[in-house]
Amino acid sequence: MKNSLSKFSMRIIHRNLGFFLAGIMAMYALSGIIMVYRNNDTFKKSVDINTQIEKNLSAKALGEAIKIKGLKVTGEEQNVLHFKGGSYNSITGEASYIKKELPYILEKMTHIHKATTKDPLYYLNLFFGASLLFFVISSFWMFTPGSDVFKKGIYFTLGGIILTLIMIFVG
């Protein structure tokens, strides 16, 4: 009786799932690269914001209101607080500032990549993570154990595991 997870069956599932997920793998790869630069403005564009918010806010409350983490007031004159990229009139509540944002499609891609359990997209992340784990496991069915290609693959696998451990414990 043939094993239900035969080499042939595993290769077919691996191949078809790989083709099916090619687009999403590319999206996760690109969004992962973009997220490396999330602390600077490499892919971001400037957007001018003029908004009316609550009056007489402290620097901390102002940062929370306009969603700028770690906002620092650099100066104040005639009830106008100045901060990097903008100002806030504490009498009128008018805030004017420049916000750096990713272009629409890049923002959507990174949003999917960072989805948490509060976001319905996290199911996609779970499915994709499980699929990647399947690719890892099923790759060992691609070649006959004991063959030269399989043995070489094991050496590459060990090298990858060592690199991963170095990244985990050094990084």
Q: What is the pTM of this model?
A: 0.72
Residue in 48, 39, 25, 49 with CA at minimum distance from that of residue 109: 25
Q: How confident is the model at residue 1 (pLDDT cuts 50, 70, 90)?
A: very low
Domain boundary among 83, 101, 119: 101
Q: Domain for residue 1, yes or no?
A: no
Residues 64 and 142 in one domain: no
Helix (H/G/I), strand (E/B), else coil: 66? coil
Task: With beta carbons less than 8 A apart as the criterion, state whether 141 and 7 touch.
Answer: yes
The confidence score (pLDDT) of residue 33 equals: 95
Query: Given a cut of 70, is residue 11 above it in pLDDT?
Result: yes
| Average pLDDT estimate for 65-85 | 92
Our count of domains for the chain comes to 2
Task: Name the β-bridge partners of 49.
Answer: 97
Asked whether the beta carbons of 43 and 111 are under 8 A apart, the reply is no
Instruction: Work out the average pLDDT over 102-121.
Output: 93
Count Cβ neighbours within 10 Å for each residue of 70-96 and write b for 16 or more, e otherwise.
ebebeeeeeeebebeebbbbbeeeebe
Residue 3 has pLDDT above 60, yes or no: no
- Copy the structure tokens of residue 111: 């949003």
Is residue 131 over pLDDT 50?
yes
Examine the domain organization and report whether 20 and 33 are in the same domain: yes
Mean pLDDT of the 66-91 span: 92
In a domain? residue 150:
yes
Q: 112 and 95, same structural domain?
A: no
Shared-domain flag, residues 65 and 140? no
pLDDT at 90 over 50: yes
Supply the range of the domain harboring residue 62: 46-101
Q: Is the pLDDT of residue 17 over 50?
A: yes
- Contact status, residue 87 vs residue 48, Cβ threshold 8 Å: no
Return mean pLDDT, the chain: 91
Residues 97 and 78 in one domain: yes
One domain, residues 108 and 97 = no
The pLDDT of residue 144 is above 90 = no
Query: Bridge-partner residues for 45, per DSSP?
Result: 101
Q: In three state form, how does the secondary structure of 112-161 look? A: HHCCCCCCCCHHHHHHHHHHHHHHHHHHHHCCCCCCHHHHHHHHHHHHHH
pLDDT for 9 beyond 90: no
- Secondary structure (3-state) at 70: coil
pLDDT of 83 reads 94
Q: Please give the C-alpha separations between residue 142 and each of 20, 47, 78, 116, in angstroms, as whole numbers.
A: 18, 50, 72, 34
